[in-house]
Each structure stands twice: as structure tokens, then as C-alpha cells.
Amino acid sequence: MSWIENRFEEGLIVTSLDWAINWGRSNSIWPMTFGLACCAIEMMAVGASRFDIDRFGAGAFRATPRQADLMIVAGTVNYKMASRVRRLYNQMPEPKYVMAMGACTCGGGPYFKHGYNVVKGVDLVVPVDIYIPGCPPRPEALLEGLMRLQDKIRHQTRTKTLMTKAKEAVLT
């Protein structure tokens, strides 16, 4: 939570700042180098020249959570890995986003019934922003997910929330 967030009503300055910050954030989403299973192969294809995630400013795969904005959970998350995923998520600086890539991370996928060691969806471990179905998803699907995440970032605002307004109205 930044100082400016949830503090001012909508106005020229805050909305302009919103626009500028969202423009910067949505066009420089740096993902973390983090492949867990077969979906990571598709993620690598997205990083390579044929699909080229760099067109969206998201090609700088960082090898450390400290420099990453986006965690693409690419692959099956088992219980042993879940605590690591959570720790890496905790180590990422705000603003941070999570993409659940593939059926396994969306909800267990093919391991839903008999996968005794598989987490039934990575949203049980970290808050997920975008779900990308597929087993594995096509690279285009990952790019689509990235574009939807960009949309999501572009609609973020730092103006006062309705909840805060309601609380103030009740208090005064």
C-alpha cells in the first residue's frame, strides 16, 4: 500500500498518475524464471523468437524473485514445492502478480483424482490473477493471459475505494 493509495478522490492528478504508473507497469512486467513442469517448455517457447513475449515488454525473465513482477506458475505444483512457491511469492516486491499456467495450477488438472501429492490448484498457495487453461496451454494462450493481465493492471487505480468512502460516511 503506497502513501498515495486510497487517500484522494478521483481527480486530474491522481488519475493522470494512475495512467502513467499503469502504463509503466503493464508494459514492463518482468516474469520470474520459474518453470515447474512441462508447461515451462511452452513458456520457454513464448520467450523465444517465434512467439516473442518481449513484444509486450515482459521478456526480461529474472532469475530472482526480488526483481520480478510476475510469477508464471508453469507446471504441476506438488505439496513439497508449494511451500517454496509461497516463499518465492513472499520474496517478490509489490506490485506482484501471479499467473496460473496450465490445468495443474488451475485446479489439479490430470492429477485431480489420483495425484496424492499434487496441490489442487496453485490458488490454494498464492493469490492468482490470471488462469490460463490448457495441458499445456499453447504459447498464444500464455500471451493472451499476459494481455489480460495487462488489462487488469491498466484498470488499477489509486483513488479512494468505495469501502473507505462508506466507512467515512458512517463515521461522520
Partner 1 sequence: MLSEAKHFGSFLAQAAAPPVSPYGNTNLELVLGMMLFIAAGFGMVFAGLLIGKIARPTQPHPEKVTPYECGEEAVGESWVQFDLRFYTVALVFIVFDVEIALLWPWAVTFKQMGAPAFWAFFVFFMLIAIPFLYEWKAGYLNWVRSHSAQSKAAGEIRTVSRSVSPESASNRSSRARAAASVE
Which positions lie near partner 1, rule CB under 8 A?
1-5, 17, 21, 64-66, 84-85, 87-88, 90-91, 93-95
CB of 43 or CB of 143, closer to partner 1: 43
The span from the CA of 23 to the CA of 65, in Å, is 22
State which residue, 13 or 169, has the beta carbon closest to partner 1: 13
Minimum gap (Å) between residue 126 Cβ and partner 1: 12
Q: How far is the CB of 95 from partner 1 (least distance, A)?
A: 6
- Cell numbers linked to 116: 496424492
Beta strands per DSSP E along the chain? 70-74, 97-101, 130-132
- Closest approach, Cβ 17 to partner 1, in A, equals 7
> Residue 65 or residue 102: which is nearer to partner 1 going by CB?
65
Which 3 state secondary structure label does DSSP give 101?
strand
Distance, CA of 110 to CA of 83 (rounded, Å): 21
Compute the CA torsion angle 60, 91, 17, 7 (nearest 10 deg): 170
Please, which residue, 53 or 85, has the CB nearer to partner 1? 85
